[in-house]
Amino acid sequence: MEASATVARPPSRLIAGIPLPVIAVALAVAATLLGDSMLYAVMPSQPEAWALSVPAVGVLLSANRFVRLLTNSLAAVAFDRLGSRAPFTFALVLSVVVTLAYGWVTAFAVLLVARLAWGTSWSLLRLGGFWTVLDEATDDNRGLLMGAYSAIVRMGSVGGALIGALLTDAIGHRTTLTIFAISMAGAGALWWVTTRGQTPVRHASPVGGERTRQGLVAVLSDRRLLVTGSGGLITGLVFSGLVTASLGFFLKERFGEEIIFFGIAVAVTSATGLLLGAQWSLGLPLAPLLGHLSDCFGRVRVTSAGFALGAVGLLVLATASSVPMLLVGVVTAFVAATALTVGLSATAGDLAPPERRSAVMSSYATFLDLGSAIGPLIGLSFASLATLRGLYGAAAVVLLLAAVLFRTAFSGGQSAISEAAADLEAGS
């Protein structure tokens, strides 16, 4: 194993101001989201296609997130010991296999294994993306690059939800998921060719696993990073979990099998895909913009505003009595989710020392995954229209409390992570 070192290399090629390695890894990660995002758009409104009950769908949509509570730490150790390329390649291959399983399997047990495998894959993919962005970023553009990365990745979510739902109505879920698996393989091959021979900026130390454990202690010692992680947990629970997983069921219960959009009748599955696609489409222009704003005006302002805006969106959604009100609530909530995703991720990156990057970012990801794992279980296990309305209203209150907590935590004082790291170094 290589000793800890910093390796000089020429500046990366830029495309529209974004380093090529960031674009390449983001496109690869985006492709892997096609199948997963399609499930959120299709499964809750068409559980019979997989011979599943609605509660069983909730379990499957949560399983990949629960397993990441374990695999995020394992991914950090793998990256510290092996570097980023081998684990990332393995995750790309695994994502193709899992997507094919989604399309051609109906047995709940096998689908559950596939979802657990996808959770493992995503732990590696997400950490690989974070590594690349933080390698290429500086203090002046970290928010911008994190926003650009997030925007590109969400293209996969848009394609999975929107195109996946429309194709499922037209040609069925099996053919659609097969097409997606082929697309993933192509994007993975493109990443491999584009980044082949690239010299990593940093190499892990020979005690990568020990570095990861020490980093976790430092994470738990930093009040601001704990608040950032808690914000990620709330964001995951409310947006990635509760709203995303329950939206299809909510639409079906509220409006029936068809929804009238501007005088046009749209099947509820396609309508769900359109709305989820709109959610992630908003991230394409907004994520880089909000990231840049957080670079200029501070993470606290952008993140706190995101929590408050999300509360407004959830309250409108909970009380929506018409399609226009529904659209206002959903779009507002989705804008807030983009602001929070970018702001919180950049904040975690600000607090992550290079030598403990894997530990800090995987710990932040675990907070996020815990929330997004609980969300579908809450939204779909006790699913009824009245229950969902109440849950959306309660979520709005939680978001307001999170805004206050975040501003209070960052109101003054220095980060404790450097002090904790120094203490660990002295005692090691």
More confident residue, 250 or 399: 399
Q: CB-based contacts of 393: which residues, under 8 Å, 6+ apart?
A: 314, 315, 318
279-283 long-range contacts, CB within 8 A, separation 24+: 279/157, 279/161, 279/244, 279/330, 279/334, 279/337, 280/37, 280/154, 280/155, 280/157, 280/158, 280/161, 281/154, 281/158, 281/162, 282/331, 282/334, 282/335, 282/338, 283/150, 283/151, 283/154, 283/338, 283/341
DSSP secondary structure letters along 269-301: HHHHHHHHHHHHHHHHHHHHHHHHHHHHH-HHH
Does the pLDDT of residue 334 top 70, yes or no? yes
Closest CA to 172 of 120, 238, 102: 102
Closest CA to 319 of 330, 309, 308: 330
Distances (CA, A) of 270 to 150, 169, 275, 294: 24, 7, 9, 35
Handedness of CA 170, 122, 373, 401 (dihedral sign): negative
Topology adopted by domain 15-427: Growth Hormone; Chain: A; (1.20.1250)
Considering 90-99, 199-208, 245-254, the range whose residues carry the highest mean pLDDT is 90-99
Half-sphere exposure of 353 (CA within 13 A, CB side): 18
Handedness of CA 224, 230, 234, 235 (dihedral sign): positive
The domains of the chain are located at: 15-427
What does residue 425 show for φ and ψ, rounded to 5 degrees?
-65, -40
What was the pLDDT predicted at 6? 42
Rounded Cα–Cα distance for residues 139 and 354 (Å): 13
pTM of the model: 0.69
pLDDT tens profile 8-53: 455 566 666 677 888 889 999 999 999 998 998 888 878 888 988 8
Tell me how crowded residue 412 is: count the other CB atoms within 10 A of its CB. Answer: 6
Rounded Cα–Cα distance for residues 249 and 381 (Å): 11
Rounded Cα–Cα distance for residues 319 and 100 (Å): 39
pLDDT tens profile 84-121: 889 999 999 999 999 999 999 989 999 999 999 999 99
Place of tokens 């019979």: 48
At residue 229 the predicted structure's pLDDT band, cuts being 50, 70 and 90, is confident
Closest CA to 75 of 53, 90, 97, 95: 90
Q: Which of 155-159, 207-211, 251-255, 277-281 has the weakest average pLDDT?
A: 207-211
Tell me how crowded residue 5 is: count the other CB atoms within 10 A of its CB. Answer: 10
Does the pLDDT of residue 415 top 60, yes or no? no
